[in-house]
Amino acid sequence: MPTALPRKSPRQLARARRLLAALKRRYPDAHCELDWREPHELLVATILSAQSTDVGVNRATPGLFKAFPRPSDYAAAGAAAIEPHVRTLNFWRNKARSVHESMQALCDRFEGQVPRTMEELLTLRGVARKTANVVLGNAFGLQEGVVVDTHVGRLARRMGLSRHEDPAKVERDLMALFPRKDWCLLSHLLIFHGRRACRARGGRCAEDPICLAFCAEARLSSRGPAAPRRRRAPARPRPSRRTG
Ligand code: SF4
């Protein structure tokens, strides 16, 4: 990712600050909703969460974490032994392989520890920027970027924070708009709002104060159905002017 972020106007930055403050007031307990205790457990849970809900992952991981307490246990076991624990999740076969290979890489290249840089994390199977940002931000408190999942992308577009569909471009817009110290928290706040107010289909537009203040959709829906247009009365014929 290039280092230069898109330039934002003072007005855009001030609006972003106000939105962040409102989200912090509204969701003071916003946090990562995946269950984990050790950094490698967060890495495993985040790999498993692609195209699956956090609730579904949290149902699968207690048994998985008990069966494989350390990265070396996954590495020694192989993907086939991991599969039965993740079978309830989408793409379970592929995810079991990613978990196995990433844990093996931890043992082979990182002394059994989760690496703390974006560059190193991206070398692991099943790890893209989103997963790496989750791990760096939540396990180590390192603000390297903003997690852009479906909720964050949708809200960023609806709230006018980004016009892009590509998560990498949305992330760069958010990084440019919000203070670095808040990048990890920002994604939790947007995900909380996305799960509680702004669903993909049918958000609580026009009911929610944050929506009303920051989203054009809310202002549109608060106007209610458009009033029927009055038909114009037919123009009266003008008296003809006599000339000559
Ligand atoms: S106004 Fe509607 S579309 Fe906009 S953020 Fe709120 S719920 Fe989502």
Q: Where are the domains of the chain?
A: 39-140
Non-local (6+) Cβ contacts of 194 within 8 A are 150, 151, 152, 154, 155
Query: How remote is the CA of residue 198 from the centroid of ligand 1, in Å?
Result: 5
Query: How remote is the CA of residue 202 from the centroid of ligand 1, in Å?
Result: 8
Non-local (6+) Cβ contacts of 110 within 8 A are 120
Query: Is-catalytic flag, 166?
Result: no
Instruction: Find out whether the beta carbon of 215 lies less than 6 Å from any atom of ligand 1.
Output: yes
pLDDT of 122 above 60? yes
pLDDT class for 2, splitting at 50, 70, 90? low
Closest ligand 1 atom to the C-alpha of 212? 1
Query: How remote is the CA of residue 24 from the centroid of ligand 1, in Å?
Result: 17
> Can you tell me the mean pLDDT for 40-50?
98
pLDDT of 237 above 50? yes
Instruction: Find out whether the beta carbon of 194 lies less than 6 Å from any atom of ligand 1.
Output: no
- Topology of 39-140 in CATH? Endonuclease III; domain 1 (1.10.340)
Instruction: Find out whether the beta carbon of 203 lies less than 6 Å from any atom of ligand 1.
Output: yes
